[in-house]
Structure 1
Amino acid sequence: MDAELFPRARTEIAPGAVHVPDWLDAGRQRQLLDACRAWARPPAGLRTVRTPGGGTMTARQVCLGRHWYPYGYADTVVDGDGAPVKPFPAWLDELGRQAVADALGTPPPVARDVPPTGAGAGAPTRVPYDIALINFYDGDARMGMHRDSDEESDAPVVSLSLGDSCVFRFGNTETRTKPCTEVELRSGDLFVFGGPSRLAYHGVPRVHAGTAPPELGLTGRLNITLRVSGL
């Protein structure tokens, strides 16, 4: 009841891990959903992810920029139709950088130029977000505890939610078990984790089917995760 009577507040779940409720307004949610529907179409569209042990993930996935598969990145959908991965649009980089600024109060880290000589050598350079993993959850889908550790950058991970609410379990960097904190993520919510929490285990043990905003027109949950590859 209290959650309905009072606005949900920005909350630091752990050092470097922040939940910002209602970060995306209704119009931006609709725009992002329309984009996700286009990205989900083949080729290089929404697929079922198979694990090395022969199992399958219950959440289906599509990637932008680089294709993620357990446990690495490729330029083509090596575990699917083999098509080149869809490009990562510049506006998603801008969205990711704004999310980090709003959640953490600082921009993501910058790299340094590698040429030892020449104008501007050694100067800070802008590091763009260049990978998106988009997971679709129906009412029965789950995501086990895992770490986002296949990137070569420690820039914060940006997570955006659309559609059905879920229970998001955010743990620690050492083990998949406790201590952990459970957070309800609703449509439009932002979750950013970086710094000391960048490699924390996290997962989705439960989706609340039928809780998506009716005006959004989405059955299920979409999670758009933005990362800096460092590759």
Structure 2
Amino acid sequence: MLDLFSEEAPWAEPLAEGAVILRRRAREQAASLLAQVEAVAQSNPFHHRITPGGHRMSVAMTNCGDLGWSSDARGYQYTGEDSATGRRWPPMPQMFRLLAQACAQEAGFNYFQPDACLINRYEPGAKLSLHQDKDEKDLRQPIVSVSLGLPAVFQFGGFERGDAVQRVLLEHGDVVVWGGPSRLRFHGILPIKAGIHPLTGAFRYNLTFRRAR
């Protein structure tokens, strides 16, 4: 496992055409990012959403930005307010936006303008099943995903659920960007293993930036 305090510089690791892992890219900013996550969660607490099929998601979620992603009996949707509270989502912190735009540009996607940031909190055993991000209106815009805290095994598959998947370890500060020909690839997170991280304790946090409208 990578040393939290290592001085090794970030590097890019290709996943597929239009997809790359920017290793360690957010590590220096991690403490500030997590402070902003805490501020967002104070305004809109983490909540386990219910899938349209009635299942409680193992991942706890909150959102920030003009729009937020949620799930309930009506299905998956982006809305300007949290259906659970009726309140608008907290604004997206400027440092979130700047990081997402910089990472997108480094991955070859210029002019990324995220208007939604889904924040997932994983505890040991939590997972995210293989799925596509396809609820966004402009699929020319990439997805930017920032990992903080406990490590996770990221699954990156093909364009059908049953396609073979790559399994890669994501660690604290890694950023995955995918778009273009890889934009609709299936992806997910295997169950998180128990552990303690110096900054996040027993949790992993993931910030996923999208252009939803």
TM-score bin (small chain):
0.7 to 0.9
Instruction: Determine the structure 2 residue equivalent to 1:147.
Output: 132
Structure 1 residues 4-31: Cα deviation after superposition (integer angstroms, max 9, x where no partner)? 8xx68521111111011111234x1000
Q: Name the CA distance, whole Å, in 1 between partners of 2:141 and 2:81.
A: 24
Instruction: Determine the structure 2 residue equivalent to 1:166.
Output: 152
**2:25 is equivalent to residue 23 of structure 1:** yes
Q: Based on CA coordinates, which of the two structures has the bigger radius of gyration?
A: 1
**2:195 is equivalent to residue 193 of structure 1:** no
4+ long deviations beyond 4 Å: none
Residue type at the aligned position of 2:102: Q
Contact 1:49 1:61 (8 Å CA) reproduced: yes
Instruction: Determine the structure 1 residue equivalent to 2:77.
Output: 72
**2:212 is equivalent to residue 226 of structure 1:** no
Q: Name the CA distance, whole Å, in 2 between partners of 1:24 and 1:151.
A: 25
Q: Name the CA distance, whole Å, in 2 between partners of 1:183 and 1:15.
A: 16
Going from structure 1 to structure 2, the CA distance change for 1:211 and 1:101 (only over 3 Å counts) comes to: farther
Residue type at the aligned position of 1:73: Y
Instruction: Determine the structure 2 residue equivalent to 1:85.
Output: 89
Report SS of the residue matched to 1:207.
coil
Q: Name the CA distance, whole Å, in 2 between partners of 1:33 and 1:201.
A: 27
Structure 1 residues 171-197: Cα deviation after superposition (integer angstroms, max 9, x where no partner)? 112x11232101100010010000011
Contact 1:92 1:129 (8 Å CA) reproduced: no
Contact 2:11 2:24 (8 Å CA) reproduced: no
Report SS of the residue matched to 1:95.
helix
Gapped runs of 5+ residues in structure 2?
Answer: none
Q: Name the CA distance, whole Å, in 2 between partners of 1:130 and 1:209.
A: 33
Report SS of the residue matched to 1:49.
strand
Going from structure 1 to structure 2, the CA distance change for 1:105 and 1:73 (only over 3 Å counts) comes to: closer
Residue type at the aligned position of 1:191: V
What percentage of residue pairs aligned between the two structures are identical?
32
Pick aligned residue for 1:13 from 15, 19, 22: 15
- How many aligned positions are there? 203
Contact 1:161 1:187 (8 Å CA) reproduced: yes
Deviation at 1:92, TM superposition (A): 2.1
Going from structure 1 to structure 2, the CA distance change for 1:49 and 1:19 (only over 3 Å counts) comes to: same
Contact 2:11 2:25 (8 Å CA) reproduced: no
Q: Which stretch of the first structure deviates more once superposed, 217-226 or 30-39?
A: 217-226
Instruction: Determine the structure 2 residue equivalent to 1:53.
Output: 53
Contact 2:125 2:193 (8 Å CA) reproduced: no
TM-score, normalisation: structure 1 = 0.81
Instruction: Determine the structure 1 residue equivalent to 2:110.
Output: 107
Contact 1:165 1:209 (8 Å CA) reproduced: no
Contact 1:136 1:222 (8 Å CA) reproduced: yes
Going from structure 1 to structure 2, the CA distance change for 1:86 and 1:11 (only over 3 Å counts) comes to: same
TM-score, normalisation: structure 2 = 0.88
Relative to its length, the structure with more strand (as a share) is 2
